[in-house]
Amino acid sequence: MLEGGTCVTYGARAINAGGYFSIPKLSFPGGVLTGCGAGLLNVAKIKGTHNAMKSGMVAAQTIYNSVKEGTAEG
């Protein structure tokens, strides 16, 4: 497409569409899974970005509240 340009890498995206029962455990000592990595894609509405952002926001708020209340593990 660009004169003299070369492709240095290729990319692809896989959609994990297993539904509710394919969602892994979302929290573990020292971290959480959110967004696409956690399988939170709404395939019917193709709302991966919305769910990724919202799940990150909910995780952050939950972590903040746990630290503030002193109930955070670790």
Handedness of CA 60, 58, 30, 46 (dihedral sign): negative
Instruction: Tell me which residue range forms the domain holding 56.
Output: 20-69
What is the per-residue pLDDT for 61?
93
Task: Tell me whether residue 27 is in a domain.
Answer: yes
Task: Tell me whether residue 5 is in a domain.
Answer: no
pLDDT tens-digit readout, 11-47: 766 666 677 777 788 888 888 888 777 777 777 777 6
Task: Tell me whether residue 11 is in a domain.
Answer: no
Contact 35, 61 (CB under 8 A): no
The pTM of the whole model exceeds 0.75: no
